[in-house]
Structure formats: structure tokens, C-alpha cells
Chains A and B, each alone.
Chain A
Amino acid sequence: MNKETFKPIEELHTLDTHPFFGASKAVETDLRLGQQWDELKIHMLQMYSEKERPLLSGIPKTGLLQKKLQYVFPIFLHETISIKTLSAIFDSMKTQNLLLVQDERGLSGRESYIYLGIVCSDSTVVYYKVTDGPMKPRQNDEN
């Protein structure tokens, strides 16, 4: 943690008129100050023709996900997310050549995953993992 951690990342305030600014700001604050992730960046995903939605990426410091790049997609609790939206996320990540994170439990080994950061109005942020393909079942001696 250094003095830079106490300020939001530069790219965030360029989004302040965006409809999803509230969710992105809540997730960015939680990742930077609460979970203490490093190297937070915002990527704008071209989901449908002209419209873009922000995607955050960062590197966790502690725990099982240590030192590996992770992606978090901020959404609101009152939104309904369809399969169309989820596939659009993964498709735009591939089109825009973002570095994909492989899921080691994926069936073919080529599935990638992101986290959905669901922002509630009481400031709770709940994280869910979404993989873009089938996964093998968890083995008993795995973490």
C-alpha cells in the first residue's frame, strides 16, 4: 500500500457521465482499498455496436488467487443479466485482444473466466465467478 492507493485510478473519472459509473466506482473502491488489489485498470468493452461498458482488471495480493491477473465486471443488483450479455463480454474480450485468464478446471482447458461484481444499494459488493464453458467437477482434495 502506498500513497497512490489512496486515490482512485486516473481513468475512472473519465467515466463519470457513463450510466455504469456508480457500479464501476463502487467495485474499484472495494478492490483498491478493501481487497487491496494492485495494478487496477479499466478496459472499455465494445459490447454492442457503439455502446461500451467498463471492465476492471487487477492483481490480488493475498489468498489463493495471488499474483495472477483477474477481471471483474461491475453490475447493479437491479439489472437483469442475460446470456447474451455474458457472451458479449467474452466475445469483446477476445476481439479486443485482452489477455484472457484460463480456468484450470475447464473441460477443454481453454475456457476463460471473469468475476461479476454485483453492487447493492447498501454498498455490499458480491462477487460471482463466471466461466465461458463447461467445468470439470471439483475433486475432494482440491482447495
Chain B
Amino acid sequence: MSKAHEIYKDPLPFLLARPLPPIIPTNPITWVPYIYYYFFTRTPKQIPVQCSVDASTRSCLVTDREGIRRLWTSGFFGKGNLSRSEPTWHVRTKRSLGLLGFDEDLVAEEITARRRLQRKRFKAQRAYREQCARERQLCIERKEEIPNHLKEDAALPKELLDPFSSFAPPQNPSEVTSVPELEHLQLTFPEAFFLSSLGALTANTGTEDISSTPLLRYFAEIAAQTPEYTKAWNENTGTSFSQLDATPHIRPENSFLVDLAAYYYFRQQGWVIKGGTKFSVDYLLYKRGPVFSHAELAVLLLPCVGNSQKQNLKWHELHCLNRTVGQVKKTLVLCYVHCPAPEILNDLWQRQKNMDQWEWSKLILSHYSIQCVSLRRWVPDRNRD
């Protein structure tokens, strides 16, 4: 556990100056480090990690191994596309092919699998012992001799004792000797924008040069465009793809802007944010990170423009969601994102040409505000509070 505290000690991929030794006014020797740092060093420059934008899946991919490690260990950004959270596909595949020992360098998925198997084994042993006890009881009632294999201290059958016999042994029929690194780290658009604003990431597209386009505008346009694309395709409305705008109109409830506003809000408070699709919510919030504890909160985003909510839940949907989230011991939080009125957003959008990219993004985001409500099921005669 202390190893985890050491590896994940940086909350963000941001290099801060290291603290200097204490200064004592009467002892000139302690002044030396300060004088040295004043004259000779510069603030350490961060080399941003490179990533490529994949518009159709609305994500950014990082393939550089050192970049992946840095982004994951300082803030838990991104997810390995073939793993549950941290990219571990390479290690697991090598182990299943027999290229790695049974217990070397275990990763999260493997630890969980082993623990589940141990629990299953323990339950099978307990069920067997209970069955033996029942048969012993029957023998006593029938006044028969208790056979040896049913006695209390009799040995358990072999398949119940051997701890890992049902684990699939490593199979390598085609004699593969090396496994290429095929997994990448996938960042969602809010994560990629957040990291770019810190200077820790640079987004590249294969085809166009986007260094002059503000990243906020680029991502918002992709988010506005992709549902229209797929909708036109599925509904067979006869819309040809050339009719879809190259620069779509950005609405205040644009899914990227809403996601980003909530992302910034929770990140500023120190939460680690991960996707919540598996629990039918938008975000899962972790106190320090997935490595340290399970998620505490499950957040559902509800955008509102002016006085009207753009998305609402019927009572039975809310009840269903609350039950699902309660079953996995998390608290449901409904996060209302108040978006600016369409005229205000259009006006702000036009101002982009006269402003620096990040100042303009900050201006747009400052018009979004967040209000959170947490829900818990309460039964009058069962719950105390």
C-alpha cells in the first residue's frame, strides 16, 4: 500500500519546484542554495505528451509508453482500451502465453481473478463440509456406522484442496515468443482539454493542422457533429453527408461543453473522475484514485438552459437508477449544469478571434455553473436518519 502512495504521489502531471532546505538568517551557509537557485536555475520545462485525436469515437489516443505512465500515475487520466483501467493487456497476454511466471508482477485484473477463485474455492469447501455434516446426522439417526470419508476430520477431496487447479494453464500452441505493445491509453475530450490547458498534452490530428484552432472549439464542433451524422444514417432521411455543416452551430447544451464544465468543477475540488457507463451514469468520482478505494459518488449530468431542463428523468427511471447505484454502494448525485442562454453563447463564440485561446475558453466556461443534489433511498420504518 505504501508503494502505491509513492508511485501515485503527484495529483496532477504538473512539475512544481522542489522545496529548498530551511534558511537560517544567522548562518550564511544556508543562504547558498537560495542564491544558487536564484541565479542559475530555470523552472523545469514540461515536455507535453503527444496524442492523436480520433473524431469518430470522440477520444484522444496516447501510444507513447512513457507518456501513458506519466498520465496514469499523476492523476489517473485515461483508460487502457483493452483493460479495466490501467493499461495491463501486455502483461496479462504474456502470462496467458506462458512468457511470464504465474506470480510475477501481478496486475489489478489478475489479483481480482485470483481473489474470486479463492472465494469460490472456500465456498465449495464449506458446502462440502456442510453436506458431510448432514450425512453424518443421517447416519446417526439410522444408527449406522459413520464411514471414514464422512468423519469430521476427514481430508477434503483433492479437487477442492488444490487452490489453482481450475486456472487455465498457459497455452502457446503457435509458439509465440514476443507480444507487441498493442494497447493505447484513451482520453475523453474533457480529459484531453484539461491536460492541454495545463500544458501536459498536445493534440494532433493526422490530416489537418489544428494549432491555430482553439481546442475548445474543435472538440465542441466534433461533439455537435457526430450525433447528426449517425442520426442521418440510421433514420434514412435522405440527408447526404455533404449537407451536414463543416462548422456546425454550437448550442449551449453541447455535450462537450456540459461534460467539460462538470469535469472542471469536480477536478478543482480534488476528485478523480472516470467514466460511469457501467453503472448507467456519466461520471464516477474517486477520492484519491481507483487504486486507493472504490468510487464514492456516481454523477448524472442534467443540462439546463435558462429555465428549462434539456433532459429529464421520469420517476421510474430515477428510481431504477437510484437502486442500481445503491446496490453497488455508491451515492447518486444529480449534477445540474446551468448553461448560458443561446444569444450569450453566440456572442461569446464570435469573440474568439480577438482573444487568446485559453482566455477565451476560460470566459466561455465561466458562464456555466453547477448545482448538485445527492439522492438516497429512505424508508421511514427502517432508516434512522
Contact = CB atoms under 8 A, between A and B. Distances in A.
A and B physically associate: yes
Interface string B240-276: 0100000000000001000000000000000000110
A79 B227 contact: yes
A123 B230 contact: no
A114 interface: no
Given A3-B176, A80-B231, A122 B274 contact: yes
Contact of A119 (B57, B168, B182, B274): B57
A22 B80 CA distance: 16
B79 A123 contact: yes
B56 A23 contact: yes
A95 interface: no
A133 to B, nearest CB: 22
A122 B226 contact: no
A64 interface: no
Contacts of A23: 56-57
Contact of A1 (B55, B56, B97): B97
Nearest to B226: A78
Q: What band does the interface of chain A fall in when counting residues whose beta carbon is under 8 Å from B?
A: 35 or more
B82 interface: yes
Contacts, number: 100
Interface string A46-87: 001101010000000010000000000000111111100100
Interface residues of B, number: 42
B74 interface: no
B59 interface: yes
Contact of A29 (B79, B82, B173, B227): B82
B179 interface: yes
Contact of A51 (B57, B233, B274): B233
Interface in B183-222: 183, 186, 188-189
A78 B233 CA distance: 13
B324 interface: no
Given A19-B233, A33-B82, A51-B236, A126 B278 contact: yes
Given A1-B97, A121-B188, A19 B56 contact: yes
A120 interface: yes
Contact of A124 (B55, B97, B236, B278): B278
B277 A79 contact: no
B180 interface: yes
Interface of A: 1-3, 6, 19-23, 26, 29-30, 33-34, 48-49, 51, 53, 62, 76-82, 85, 118-124, 126
6 contacts: A1-B172, A22-B56, A76-B226, A78-B230, A79-B227, A121-B59
Given A23-B56, A33-B182, A123-B57, 19 more contacts: A1-B97, A2-B173, A6-B179, A19-B56, A20-B56, A20-B230, A29-B182, A33-B89, A76-B230, A79-B230, A79-B231, A80-B231, A85-B234, A118-B277, A119-B57, A122-B275, A123-B79, A124-B79, A126-B277
